[in-house]
Structure 1
Amino acid sequence: MNISQENSGKLNAILNVKVEEVDYAERVEKVLKDYRKQAKVDGFRPGMVPMGIIKKMYHTPVLVDEVNKLVSESLFNYLQENKVNILGEPLPHKDDVQKFDFEKDTEFEFKFDLGLAPELNMEVSAKDKVPFYKIKVDKKQQGEHKESLLQRFGEFKAVDKAGNDELIKGSLVKVNKEGKEVENGIRVDNVSMSLEMMKDDDQRVLFSGAAGGDQVVFDVKKAFPNDTELASLLRIEKTEVAMLEGTFKCFIDEVNKFERAEPGQEFYDKVYGEGEVKTEEEFTKRVTEEIALNYERESEYRFMVDAREALIKKAKIDLPVEFLKRWMVETNEQITEEQVAEDLEKYEDDFRWQLIKEHLLKQQDIKVSEEEALEAAKAMVLNQYMQYGMSNVPEEYLENYAREMMAKPEESRKFYEQKGEEKLISYIKSIVKLDEKEVSSEKFRKLYEK
């Protein structure tokens, strides 16, 4: 096999791959022999079909498959052995229209376009200046965070009568226009129905003043016009909703109203654990610490954004732009030429940052251990639980769930890359000059409007 490379412009190259019969003959013969062992042809015992018949049946498709595999393997090996750093992946040469006759030809020549990665020669130094924003915690954020916790730990409590935002519990029964139960009609017990979620005011007002033991006839389709919601409420298939006439009777068992929690020891124990917080002052202190921790994460993320921008600007990296535009469109069905053109600057900077990351990680010999990647996975799992208000998750649960994700190669790679970037950003932060700025949360948010 003969592979040669020729430059076709700055950061562009063409790879010529010439395949001769000697390169693939043994591979094709081996596959055909395997086919012969398994072939079932009338008139012949298994494994005894003449090779001539096997070749007539399978030679061409096997040849196509093996030549393509050979070319792909050879491409990869050539790039690796010759240390050719590329962006994206090789693409069939744009001006090369391949017309092979695999039934007659014995030699095949392929051409591929390459987008070459530029060589970087940069370092991070104390001369590099990057802003670092410290977000102030004020009383407004404290109040909002407290209210959020009081709402999260609130609960429904029984009340005597319904108003307009209560939760009705009971049964729903299909009735006719006279309000009598329809024989073999829909009946749903143990229903929870929110008056606040009703879309029709006229239907909601029918429940006003209703209490446990009362019966209310209403049009369920007017109250809940969304087919998905209604199917869930009545426990029927969504396709059945269209044929449904909407008059139902609600047999009310109880009326509940949501009440936010009230500050006090019971509330503090629910949120932070028994005895961890005992006074309003301690509650305010914990809330402030939680907000500050969130703001610290936001500050660190913003530093990463600004450091990325500063280093991209410093590096002044050229790219094989036309090749990359073509590669993005041809390898991703979800991306169009118009989308690439519209977001080209963003795509270019993504490629530049990837090159900078790889360069600095190698330069500083920054590596990620299996344990560090696992910790990153556990942190993500814990964050998912916390979104549902579960912060005290047993370590064993986190460990098992994280290991399940790490067992998937694609997921595992993401955690290694994430941790690698975190360590790189920490290194950058330790070297550059930090331009520290204390700002309000409102001013900080406006940074993302630029």
Structure 2
Amino acid sequence: MQVSVENTSALERRMTIGVPAERIETEVNKRLQQTARRAKVPGFRPGKVPMSVIRQRYEASARQEALGDLIQETFYEAVVEQKLNPAGAPAVEPKVFEKGKDLEYVATFEVFPEFEVKGLDGIEIERQDASVEDADIDKMLDVLRKQGTRYEAVDRAAANDDQVTIDFVGTQDGEAFSGGSAENTKLVLGSGRMIPGFEDGLVGAKAGDERVLDLTFPEDYQNLDLAGKAAQFKVTVKEVAAPELPELNEAFFKQFGVEETTVEGFRAEVRKNMDRELRQALKTKVKNQVMDGLLAANQIDVPAALISNEVDRLRVQAVQQFGGNIQPEQLPAELFSEQAKRRVLLGLIIAEMVKQFELKPDDARVRELIEEMAAAYQEPEQVVKWYYQNEQQLNEVRSVVLEEQVVDTVLKQAKVTDKQVSYEDAVKPAEAPQAA
């Protein structure tokens, strides 16, 4: 087998491969002999069909099959011989493809980039620290109670946070416009659901009142036909209802799957969840900064085949997440190209970090992470057991731990500044690209 390689770009290789005719004929004859043992030809007993008849009937298909298999076999033999690492399937172009002659074909493909991760000591990280205080728990309880707010009708003027039931008709120059009218709409005053001035204009109204509101749609209103334009709304208030927050009692606690009978016990459960959320938020912020730093310090060429494959995966994920009667390939590739490139880049860099620093998943950390995830379930020991019985899920956890070890490796060399922040600031998502 003869092999020659041409570098057509930083990552693209054009490899010409020659396969001797003898090897081809050997493979063709092997297939014809296999066919002869099972072929059913009228006038002949199975296994007794003359080879001349077998060759006449089946040689063309046997040769086509042999050539296809030989191209696949010899391509991988050639890349091993040339110590190449293809990043995708090759595009094969036959040069000589005739019976009795050596097979010669050209395989064009991309290879994985060869590089060494560098610049770790130049990466700057702000590592936040925070703790869950009693005041944070108080705020969380208020949020949980507001989520369960009920409204009871009252005989008084409406105030902010009250819920009003209204009919309204919107007009422009005396004519009703599309989408500007509704009946029996429930609106919480101060919620910001309506355009500026609408909710304020209903403060002080009672059930049975009618109000006329002269308003202007915002310049950035989603309906461009209405953006920046004046409108008049005639509103009829049908009911005013005051908010009633649920009591912190056993019935309330059960809504969140918590079997507690005391406020103290429920607060303890809330604290555990907030602590878990805080740890994850702090870890994620550091990880995002590390990944951004690695990308900035390691500008490498990326195989287009890997980006294309990642775009396809993101398309499928988008369809699964948002549904709709659409096929993944109908989504424009450019919607996902930047995210796909970032993910591929990080995948390559992380893989090289693992190799370069000889990292392996720490079994103790794997166990710790599984137990932390299992703690959110009612029977955590069953969840832990399930992970260790499911190799695929266990490998996913190992991958997460390996990424954490990559982050730790970077932090040992990076310029790290520690900063104390509040719980609220710590759990607030940072505006950063998606990590690996």
Q: TM-score range by the shorter chain?
A: 0.5 to 0.7
In structure 2, C-alpha distance between the alignment counterparts of 1:376 and 1:36, rounded to whole Å: 59
In structure 2, C-alpha distance between the alignment counterparts of 1:330 and 1:92, rounded to whole Å: 19
Letter in 2 for 1:144: V
1:283 aligns with 2:277: no
* 1:365, distance to aligned residue in structure 2 (A): 0.9
Q: Provide closer, same or farther for how the CA distance between residues 441 and 329 of structure 1 changes in structure 2, counting only shifts above 3 A.
A: closer
Give the conservation status (yes or no) of the 8 Å contact 1:14–1:111. yes
Aligned counterpart in structure 1 of residue 280 of structure 2, from 291, 297, 305: 297
In structure 1, C-alpha distance between the alignment counterparts of 2:53 and 2:372, rounded to whole Å: 60
Q: Provide closer, same or farther for how the CA distance between residues 415 and 53 of structure 1 changes in structure 2, counting only shifts above 3 A.
A: farther
1:428 aligns with 2:410: yes
Aligned counterpart in structure 2 of residue 310 of structure 1, from 283, 287, 293: 293
Give the conservation status (yes or no) of the 8 Å contact 1:17–1:111. yes
What is aligned with 2:29?
A: 29
Q: Provide closer, same or farther for how the CA distance between residues 337 and 375 of structure 1 changes in structure 2, counting only shifts above 3 A.
A: same
* 1:348, distance to aligned residue in structure 2 (A): 2.8
In structure 1, C-alpha distance between the alignment counterparts of 2:406 and 2:110, rounded to whole Å: 26
Q: Provide closer, same or farther for how the CA distance between residues 358 and 15 of structure 1 changes in structure 2, counting only shifts above 3 A.
A: same
1:115 aligns with 2:115: no
User: What do the CA deviations read for 1:405-432 (whole angstroms, capped 9, x no partner)?
Assistant: x2x6xx6765553443233233334443
Give the conservation status (yes or no) of the 8 Å contact 2:125–2:289. yes
Give the conservation status (yes or no) of the 8 Å contact 1:90–1:112. no
Letter in 1 for 2:298: A
Q: Provide closer, same or farther for how the CA distance between residues 330 and 67 of structure 1 changes in structure 2, counting only shifts above 3 A.
A: farther
1:339 aligns with 2:333: yes
What is aligned with 1:11?
A: 11
In structure 1, C-alpha distance between the alignment counterparts of 2:363 and 2:42, rounded to whole Å: 56
* 1:308, distance to aligned residue in structure 2 (A): 0.9
What is aligned with 1:171?
A: none
In structure 2, C-alpha distance between the alignment counterparts of 1:140 and 1:83, rounded to whole Å: 61
Structure 1, gaps ≥5 residues long: 152-199, 202-259
1:39 aligns with 2:39: yes
Give the conservation status (yes or no) of the 8 Å contact 2:366–2:398. yes
Using the TM superposition, name which of 69-78 and 289-298 deviates more.
Answer: 69-78
Q: Provide closer, same or farther for how the CA distance between residues 377 and 264 of structure 1 changes in structure 2, counting only shifts above 3 A.
A: closer
Among all aligned residue pairs of Structure 1 and Structure 2, give the percentage whose two residues are the same amino acid: 20
* 1:366, distance to aligned residue in structure 2 (A): 0.9
What is aligned with 1:141?
A: 140
* 1:21, distance to aligned residue in structure 2 (A): 1.9
In structure 1, C-alpha distance between the alignment counterparts of 2:122 and 2:275, rounded to whole Å: 29
Give the conservation status (yes or no) of the 8 Å contact 1:2–1:17. yes
Letter in 1 for 2:26: E
* 1:292, distance to aligned residue in structure 2 (A): 2.3
CA RMSD of aligned residues (A): 4.4
* 1:73, distance to aligned residue in structure 2 (A): 2.7
Letter in 2 for 1:428: V
In structure 2, C-alpha distance between the alignment counterparts of 1:68 and 1:370, rounded to whole Å: 44
What is aligned with 2:63?
A: 63
User: What do the CA deviations read for 1:220-269 (whole angstroms, capped 9, x no partner)?
Assistant: xxxxxxxxxxxxxxxxxxxxxxxxxxxxxxxxxxxxxxxx9964468769
Q: TM-score scaled by structure 2?
A: 0.59
Q: Provide closer, same or farther for how the CA distance between residues 398 and 307 of structure 1 changes in structure 2, counting only shifts above 3 A.
A: same
Give the conservation status (yes or no) of the 8 Å contact 1:135–1:444. no
In structure 2, C-alpha distance between the alignment counterparts of 1:370 and 1:63, rounded to whole Å: 52
Structure 2, gaps ≥5 residues long: 150-182, 185-244, 316-326
Give the conservation status (yes or no) of the 8 Å contact 2:278–2:426. no
What is aligned with 2:167?
A: none
What is aligned with 1:399?
A: 385
Q: Provide closer, same or farther for how the CA distance between residues 78 and 292 of structure 1 changes in structure 2, counting only shifts above 3 A.
A: same
Structure 2 SS opposite 1:72: helix
